[in-house]
Amino acid sequence: MEALERTFTIVNRLGLHARAAARLVQTANRFQSEISVSRNGQNANAKSIMGVLMLAAAQGSTVAVRTDGADGAEAMEAIGALIESGFGEDTG
């Protein structure tokens, strides 16, 4: 399976804070693929809470998600849905 990359906009009001980052990491860890998230040239392993938090992605930020592996398409779909839903939080 080839690597996939998509960009998403962080829509929840508080951005990629601890709880949202934890949800992203939990989702990424359900998959065997290599998954990374990057913002402004800074790249983080999506399975590492510290790495994801270091991106400091506020509301309106654009992040790129990259998956590489057999279940990469499913991982991209799950992570994309999570980000686009605002991590289930207030998007106002």
Which residue numbers are catalytic? Answer: 17
Dist. CA 77–CA 82, nearest whole Å:
9
Q: Which residues contact 84 (CB under 8 A, 6 or more apart)?
A: 8, 11
- The amino acid at 9: T
Give Dmax (Cα) for the chain: 37
- Looking up tokens 């399975």 gives 47
